[in-house]
Amino acid sequence: SSTEGPFGAAAAVDGDAATRWSSTFGDDEWLRIDLGASTSIGQVVLDWEAAYAKGYRLEVSGDGQQWTTIHSTTTGAGGVETLTVSGTGRYIRMHGTERATAWGYSLHEFQVYSTTGGTAPGDGDVLLSYGKTGSASTSQ
């Protein structure tokens, strides 16, 4: 997994909406976050750049090898997607299955929260992903 270059995986968990992770131009690409320990996940916020996923899965894993799908769509619309999910794992990834554009996938931020907070993360939610180790199938 490459994390080099100006659009590496770490850019999706740095808290800076001006940076981004960007994959190469392929459908089967992913961005994974190591949360450091097995954690309950209740909400994910995906802040897409113009190159977004029409089809993707959110998956969790305890070991980074065996994955369980906690969200799946074939009608992703880009922009900022706030998703209520339920899963437990040390790792979480956005696994793209169908690009909406000719480009790859590109995320300004991939935010993972411990609890659900309605339509937006609330004061009681804990942002788990900030500054964590990111890796990707590919990066530009």
What is the CB neighbour count within 10 angstroms for residue 26?
A: 12
Cα first-last separation, the chain: 12
| Residue type at 85 in one-letter notation | V
Return the pLDDT at 124.
Answer: 57
pLDDT computed for residue 130 by the predictor: 75
Residue range 9-136, CATH number: 2.60.120.260
Rounded to whole angstroms, the maximal C-alpha distance in the chain is 39
Q: What is the pLDDT along the chain (140 residues), one digit of tens a residue?
A: 344 467 889 999 999 999 999 999 999 999 999 999 999 999 999 999 999 999 999 999 999 999 999 999 999 999 999 999 999 999 999 999 999 999 999 999 999 998 644 445 555 567 787 777 777 776 66
Distances (CA, A) of 122 to 23, 58, 104, 114, 115: 30, 21, 31, 11, 9
Q: What is the DSSP letter of 114?
A: S
Question: Which residue, chain included where needed, has tokens 């964590």?
Answer: 132
What residue spans define the domains of the chain?
9-136
d(CA 138, CA 76): 21
36 close to 60: Cβ distance less than 8 angstroms: no
pLDDT score of 83: 96
Q: Where are the beta strands (DSSP E) in the chain?
A: 21-22, 29-48, 53-61, 68-73, 80-99, 106-113, 133-136
Asked if 68 and 59 touch (Cβ cutoff 8 Å), the reply is yes
Cα 13 to Cα 119: distance, rounded to the nearest angstrom? 20
pTM: 0.86
